Chains A and B, each alone.
Chain A
Amino acid sequence: MDHVILKTKNVKKVYNADTLHAVTALHDVNVEVHKGEFLGVMGPSGSGKSTFINMISTMDYPTDGLVFINGKNVLNMSANEIGHFRYENLGFIFQEFNLLDTHTIFENIALPMTLAKEDPKEIEKRVVSAAEQLGIGDLLNKLPPECSGGQRQRAAIARALINRPGIIVADEPTGNLDSENSEELMELFEEMNRKNGTTIVMVTHDSYVASFTSRLIFIKDGTLYKEISRGDRTQDEYFSEIVSVSSSSRRRKREEP
């Protein structure tokens, strides 16, 4: 747990910089994520959560500050190096699943492995195994639009995990799922984190979903507003604190002149 796998140092993001409509989405954000941690990111709409996750997942560059993943400064990499870095170190799960609708579930899951130039036999073996573990083994030859939302999200998870990345980045992964599928997904995340030691960084606005994490940071108006850890508490106790912090942040916003 002591090894810092991801670190941001004074990260600042300004959209439309040098124009009259400049908007600062993040102000000097400093976060450290340890190996094997399950970190949640919460905050109201427009608070900068998605900007933060785009920065740490190499999707976008900060205006100022540094981002280190496994000790490497991602800002010093070229576009192609970032591509390699992504499929070797990061697994992505998004609210809209982000599967290629034109390709089968098998092909979608296999893509990061083909990028890593793995042997086709090994790809077949590992994709089938991952799909079976996630309960989508019989859907491999189907196209994503032929599957349910839950099945598609499982396919997205299989793709995110197939290269055994160091970090899973999930942006509102339960956003398009019903409560039953959401709960199943979070149990899966919890199991991956506990049994395999997978590091997960997840953005959510759902307090119940957030209660599955081991640590939670709250972002408000582009700054780190609060940080809480689950520690030895039960999930219910942790959930109560999340709700309390979440609502207090909103109350303060209303009370401000």
Chain B
Amino acid sequence: MMKEALRSLRNSPANALFFAMTFFLTTALLFSYFHMAAAVSDGMPEVYYDMNHLADLFQMLEKGNAGNLMMVFIVIMCAVDLVFANDFFVKNKAREIGVRLMCGATYIQLAAYLLIQTAVLMAVTIPLGIAAGYSLVVWMRSLLDITIPLDGYAWMEFISVMVMIVFWTTALNCSFAYKSGAVLLAGGNMNALMRKEKPYGLRKTRFMEAVYDVVGVIAALFPLVQFYYGGIGLAVGMVIGCVGLDRVLVHIVVPLLTRHNRKRGTRSTASVLRSGFLRRDILFSKFTVYLFLTDILVLLAMMTRDNSPLEASLVRISYVCICILQAMTILFRLATDISTRHTQYRILDRIGTDETIRKAVPVQETVLYGLFLLLVVLFYGGVASVFILQAGSLQVKDIIFSAVTAVVPAMLCLAILCVYNRRETGNEAVRIGL
């Protein structure tokens, strides 16, 4: 089993590398975060104490220094990022897991097969992540000329959260093993099974749909209104905003793309294909986009607080790491879908689509998705920044730093995705499977 698991890792090096990078960044972020937070006078010891009394959690958040608030937020975000990284990592193993299941492998054997691979990656990346986190702490010590102790509390917090991360990844692997078995037994693919019409909900009339759309637009703008009034309860506001944005994307933007394709998109094959794929990308990656926006706005709001120099550095480091992690999450999410798209390109080859179109469409699709992401991020980030500048909470250079940090990793990841998309679809399209 060990040998086979290692062979499986070697067979999909890109997936393994990206999964490993997520672990590495998560470890580095958590290590540096907990050690720097421990240096904040009323920070880490209090967090550690309060975490042993979960009933006081809300009181802890109310007290609200940057360390307390961000600890919960960052740990949740790292865990969510790992969900998407895991999905990308195990997606192309579905077939081999299916074959193993058909040959009589038990659920435990399947889970162990995946866990061995994850354990190998963790064994390599966690020490590297600790080393990177330690370097960051040392650098911050010299930069801020302050004492950041590598003390026991910080180590305990870091280790307990890493143990939680390991358990979380284990649970994800086990659930994938279970899901693969269930899908295989159901004789279909999970997407098709899950895309059935939902039997609940109010009766759909045109008027009600219009009302929902208007409410959706208002809800989508809600977090920005909160920024205008000083960002009170922004985390809750972001939940409302994401629900609204979901309505806007699914019921306004995507139908608009479909309508465009039907009326004018048919002018060229490339146009039909790229807007169809773009529609799919938006729907498939929408939750990662919501998370990305939540991260940016919540951390932007944290920057506007009256932070000590160390707290401010802590927020900025978290902002940089989270932006990189979220950009990678979007990359994983889209790459997961693209990895199954060679079938679509084979169909296009069969019906006579020439090679020029098949090679151009993945690039055009990724560029359009990049523009979509840029538009959404710059709209939310831009409007929030204007309000922040008006209130005088941050300076222009801080806003530029935030914008560059949010946009550059995302665009780099999309550039990687573009290459991946073209390789997956363009080269394998011609006569594959014949």
Contact = CB atoms under 8 A, between A and B. Distances in A.
Interface of A: 54, 59-60, 79-80, 82-88, 90, 92, 94, 98-104, 106-107, 110-115, 117-118, 120, 123-124, 140-141, 143, 145-146, 159
B352 A85 contact: yes
A94 to B, nearest CB: 8
13 contacts: A59-B350, A59-B431, A83-B352, A92-B351, A102-B277, A103-B272, A104-B261, A115-B351, A117-B268, A124-B262, A143-B195, A145-B191, A145-B192
Contacts of B264: 120
A190 B351 CA distance: 23
Contacts of A84: 352, 354
B272 A99 contact: no
A102 B280 contact: yes
Chain B contact residues: helix, strand, loop or mixed: helix
B250 to A, nearest CB: 13
5 tightest CB-CB pairs across the interface, nearest first?
A: A86-B352, A87-B352, A103-B276, A102-B280, A83-B352
Contacts of B269: 111, 114-115
A59 B276 CA distance: 25
B266 A60 contact: no
Contacts of A111: 269, 272, 348, 351, 353
A115 to B, nearest CB: 5
A146 B195 CA distance: 7
Given A59-B434, A92-B351, A118-B266, 11 more contacts: A59-B431, A82-B352, A88-B352, A94-B350, A98-B347, A100-B348, A103-B273, A113-B266, A114-B266, A114-B272, A120-B266
A115 B355 CA distance: 12
Nearest to A100: B344
Interface residues of B, number: 35
B333 interface: no
A106 B344 CA distance: 16
B276 A112 contact: no
A99 B273 CA distance: 13
Interface in B135-177: none
B431 A115 contact: no
A70 B279 CA distance: 40
Nearest to A60: B434
B278 to A, nearest CB: 10
B263 interface: yes
A196 B258 CA distance: 32
A36 B140 CA distance: 81
B249 to A, nearest CB: 16
Contacts of B344: 100-102
A123 B266 contact: yes
A226 to B, nearest CB: 27
| Residue of B279, B280, B354 with most partner-chain A CB within 10 A | B354
B203 interface: no
A112 B262 contact: no
A124 B266 contact: yes
Interface in B382-408: none
A60 B279 CA distance: 33
Interface string B317-353: 0000000000000000000000001001001101111
A104 B275 CA distance: 11
B352 A60 contact: no
A114 B268 contact: yes
A63 to B, nearest CB: 14
A206 B329 CA distance: 48
Contacts of A99: 347
A114 B274 CA distance: 13
Contact of A83 (B261, B267, B354, B434): B354
Contacts of A159: 351
Interface string B239-268: 000000000000000000010011111111
A113 B258 CA distance: 17
Nearest to B434: A60
Nearest to B347: A98
Interface string B276-288: 1101100000000
Given A98-B350, A120-B267, A123-B266, A145 B195 contact: yes
